[in-house]
Amino acid sequence: MKIITKFPASGKVNFYSEVRQKVNEQFHNRGLGINANSLMWMKTSIFLSLFIILYLSILLSGLNWIYLAPLTLALGVTCAFIGFNVCHDAIHGAFSANKKVNKLLGMIFHLLGASPYVWNITHNVVHHTYTNIPGHDEDIEIAPGLIRICNEDELKSHQRFQQWYAFPLYGLASISWVLRKDYKKFFQKNIGARENIHPKIEYFNLFFYKFLYYFLFIVLPILITDLAWWQVLVGFVLLHIAQGITMGLVFQLAHVVEGTAFPVPNHSGNMEEAWAEHQMHTTANFAADSPFAAFFLGGLNRQIEHHLFPKVCHIHYGWISVIVKKTALEYGIPYHENATFSSALASHYRMLKKMGSPAV
């Protein structure tokens, strides 16, 4: 039985209470709500419309496979952007003040091949509570035995090459999610230290929506297009390679870069830092000043603000990040960030190389 990990009731400083107060004051002063605004709804409409257009074009256009391949790759990337921008906020309850709207938008996750119920447990509950804690945060278990990202993992000889083979593996992350990960997480006894007990309806939901996804993205294309069955399967793999690489890189650049910590509890299960300070040590931003990243990545490039304010729609993270950074520096708390996507990618590469090498 795993020991429940606990954080101190309050930190040695009042960082979190002050930063929350400042952010709440700005919401009041600006006359804003914490949920989606018109720009957020516009983004949602764009991504969902693009998804529908690409899917129907692949299904009904009758185009040669040479033209369908780039459309399929574009659909995979679009699916990742929908996950980042729409489903992620909705499942966190941050998109709308209306729970029914959040639930409806969260259901779109099924059309990406993933279970919103399982994601809520592994990500919202476990990852956001026990961020980067080995043995608890299963989000950082990229490919156990293949990729090593912290000192608590056993070092294996083949991992000296992991900085090279990790990136192709990210391309398999999405198809593994669709065909394996959700089932594994659902039926394993624990996720981290959390015992897995599910309502009966979720057993039905898991299989029903998985098979609906397989029908829409494998069976239906075989039935109504002129493509051979193997060409449809190749297209299915291509879609998930594009979706997986996009998702994998964005998620890894937020927690597995130089400077982020992988702290462990003591023998009694107690963490040294309070929860908010823990988030600041384990999380990093990248390309925070890029309008392109802000539009497409759903606030995941401003991961620090997301972890401190998961119930706030990411559309507000731009001005919130100014407050968080300033307050963190005032309190002497680290604020990890890489200025660009490429610098974060380079940092991730160096981190993988270091973790794959024997300690000097």
Per residue, what are the HEC states of 198-230?
Answer: CCHHHHHHHHHHHHHHHHHHHHHHHHHCCCCHH
Helical ranges in 188-302 per DSSP H: 200-214, 220-224, 229-255, 275-282, 291-296
Parallel, antiparallel, or unpaired: how do β-strands 336-338 and 284-286 relate? Answer: parallel
The pLDDT of 317-332, averaged and rounded, is 96
| Phi, psi values for residue 47, rounded to 5° | -70, -40
For residue 9, pLDDT over 80 is answered with no
Q: Which amino acid is at 178?
A: V
Residue 218: its pLDDT value, please?
97
Residues in the chain, how many? Answer: 360
pLDDT band at 222 (very low <50, low <70, confident <90, very high): very high
Backbone phi, psi, residue 336, to 5° = -80, 130
Closest among 142, 148, 174, 128 to 282, alpha carbons compared = 128
> Stretch 204-214: mean pLDDT, rounded?
97
Q: Report pLDDT for 158.
A: 92
Cα dist. 237→40, 59, 71, 114, 124 in Å? 30, 16, 13, 15, 28
What six digits make up the tokens of 60? Answer: 């009904």
pLDDT at 1: 44
pLDDT in tens, 153-200: 889 999 999 999 999 999 898 999 999 999 999 999 888 777 888 999
User: Residue-wise over 307-331: b if at least 16 C-beta within 10 A, else e?
Assistant: bbbbebbbbbbeebbebbbebbeeb
**What is the average per-residue pLDDT within 116-125?**
93
| pLDDT of residue 12 exceeding 80 | no
pLDDT digits (tens, 9 = 90+) for 35-61: 999 999 999 999 999 999 999 999 998
The per-residue pLDDT of the chain, averaged, comes to 92
